[in-house]
Structure 1
Amino acid sequence: MPNRVTNVGYGNSSTFLNAAASAELRAKIDEQIDQQVLEWYANVPEAAHLEGKNVDSDYYKRHLIETAWRIRLLRVAEAKALVEIAKRSPEAAQVWANYEQEEMLHDELFITDLAKVGVSREQFLATEPYLSTKLLTGYFSYLLDHEGPLGVVAYSYLVEYVNVKLEPRKLEALKGSVGEGRIGGQISHSHTDINDDHPGEVWAAVRHLLHDEDDVAAFKRYLKEHQALLAQYFEELYLDTIAKAEKQPA
């Protein structure tokens, strides 16, 4: 009689992609993200605002608030993802657990920077997240319930790749516009992403979750869907701050 126990990742532990194939696919995925970044700068309102010299104060503060909320809300879904990942691949689960351990409390880094620009913890807690953030959180729940954890992991690869590539440039700009002493939390967050190679760490989990070409196609699709949801947030942020201020009478 066969063992009835399933969903514990005890099947074939070999990966669909060998080391060379994994590196080749990752390069193609990175090319896709690079193209998405170009589209981002071309189509998202004020996409490069934080890289400029004249940063809108309300835009900056609200972005820090929302970033902290996103970490707080998404870490719940990402913790739930660990269970689903463990059912499929204990190797991927080990990597994901370590990654989440490193990222879990990073909301406090942004809250610390908020205090430096006059936004208290109480003000942060009183600010409700944007609808776009709630929708992203809901999408994570949908993925875990109906498609599996790959889409959740895809989000982390997207943001970690972009952060490592673009965040240093943004931080250099913020040193001039906001002041280096006021962005210590963001600098610490970036150092963790870069020095602990978070894109590489997340990719290691991705590799164990890809089982066939259908999974590869799904992963590419998730990257596009996540970018669309992120664009909704930045448009909402722009409309709530810069655009609103421009409409006010002088």
Structure 2
Amino acid sequence: MAKLDRERLEKLAQESIERQFERVTKMREFHTGEWTDREYFVRHKTETVLRIRLNNEVDSYALFKVGSKDDALAAKLAQYLAEEYGHENMFTRDLVKFGLTMDELNATPVFPSTAKLMGYLRLAADSRGPAPTTVWDWFVEWYSDRYNQIILNKATEEFGKEFTRGSQSHLDFDEDHDHDELMFKTVSLAVEGFGNPEQAYQDLVTYIDLIGDYFQELYEATVGRRAEATPELAEV
């Protein structure tokens, strides 16, 4: 049976992200630390909290789909879940500093791209077990290792450390627990037992396309909306 090729997976992730950088407004600049925006950053962290909550649910469902079929895979997925549960509260502390209340956070609807992504993961688990979800979880950790510190450094520079302490705590935790490595081992087991590498590569491209859609929606809901209302304040 063919095994998941880590080099191919990472190369595909980088190429797919690059395509999104080319098509999505301000996405490249945000990820390279050349640009940030207060409203954009706050809405991004808001979506992060909402997505984590939903992601915990789809991960739990994926674990359910493993059942007793693969104890090693179940143990790794359960470890990841246990280490990630509640981490949205780290980001919530930063959002409160920015002035967002819990009621406002909880009342915020997710962007359509997030709903599509979570729906895809949920439905894919019904037909293909835990493999699609673990591909997504691996990508989340791969992406975080490459971009989140850069994004956060720019936000800290612009807004101050008191507004990014929670997000920094989350990055420090992931680094200490080597979640990128944990999730590659997890996705390898899942793909071997419940799928195949070609499906995994296709899933990865689908997820990154949806992430590109998300960043375009994010821009249009914040900076783009301001540009329409008050063009001279769009980039302030």
TM-score scaled to structure 1, two decimals? Answer: 0.85
What does residue 12 of structure 2 align with?
32
Kindly state the Cα deviation for residue 168 of structure 1 after the two structures are TM-superposed: 1.8
Correspondences of 1:201-240 after superposition (within 5 Å): 201-211=182-192, 215-240=196-221
Deviations 1:66-89 (A, max 9, x none): 110001112111101101123432
Of the candidates 21, 42, 47, which is equivalent to residue 61 of structure 1? 42
Change (3 A) 1:51 1:115: farther
Aligned counterpart, 1:163: 144
Alignment length, in residue pairs? 230
Cα root mean square deviation, aligned: 2.0
Q: Which runs of 5+ in 1 are unaligned?
A: 1-15
- Residue 25 (structure 2) aligns with: 45
Per-residue deviation, residues 121-155 of structure 1 (Å, max 9, x unmatched): 12111222222222211111111112221111000
Query: Following the alignment from structure 2 to structure 1, what is the Cα–Cα distance between the partners of residues 36 and 198?
Result: 38
SS in 2 for 1:118: coil
Quote how far apart the aligned CAs of 1:55 are: 2.7
In structure 1, the residue matched to 2:160 is: 179
Letter in 2 for 1:30: E
Name the residue aligned to 2:172.
191
Query: How many angstroms apart in 2 are the aligned matches of 1:50 and 1:227?
Result: 14
Which of 53, 61, 73 is matched with 1:92 structurally?
73
Note if contact 1:68-1:110 (Cα within 8 Å) is conserved in structure 2. yes
Q: Distance in 2 between matches of 1:228 and 1:53?
A: 22
Whether 2:144 is the aligned partner of 1:150: answer no
Contact map agreement 2:58 2:121 (CA 8 A) in 1: yes
Q: Moved runs in structure 1, 4+ residues, more than 4 A?
A: 50-54
CA contact (8 A) 1:82 1:93 kept: yes
In structure 1, distance between residues paired with 2:141 and 2:101: 28
CA offsets, 1:145-182, max 9 Å, x none?
A: 12221111000111101111222222221221121221
- Judge conservation of contact 1:63–1:237 (CA < 8 Å) in 2: yes
Encode CA deviations 1:205-238: one digit per residue, 9 max, x unaligned: 12222338x7010111110010111112111111
C-alpha contact (below 8 Å) 1:110/1:186 kept by paired residues: yes
Report the Cα distance in structure 1 between the residues aligned to 2:176 and 2:10, rounded to whole angstroms.
Answer: 19
Greater C-alpha Rg = 1
Asked if the contact 2:16/2:209 (under 8 Å) is kept, the reply is no
Q: Which stretch shows the higher mean deviation, 94-103 or 229-238?
A: 229-238
What does residue 11 of structure 1 align with?
A: none
Q: Structure 2 unaligned runs (5+)? A: none
Identity of aligned residues (%): 24
Structure 2: distance between partners of 1:224 and 1:50: 19
Distance 1:235 1:101, change over 3 A: same
TM-score scaled by length of structure 2:
0.90
The answer (yes or no) to whether the contact 2:40–2:218 under 8 Å persists in 1 is yes
Q: Which has the higher contact order (CA 8 A, sep 6+)?
A: 2
Matched residue, 1:107? 88
1:22-66 per-position Cα deviation (integer Å, ceiling 9, x unaligned): 6xx112211111222222222222113365465322211111111
Q: Distance in 2 between matches of 1:68 and 1:111?
A: 7
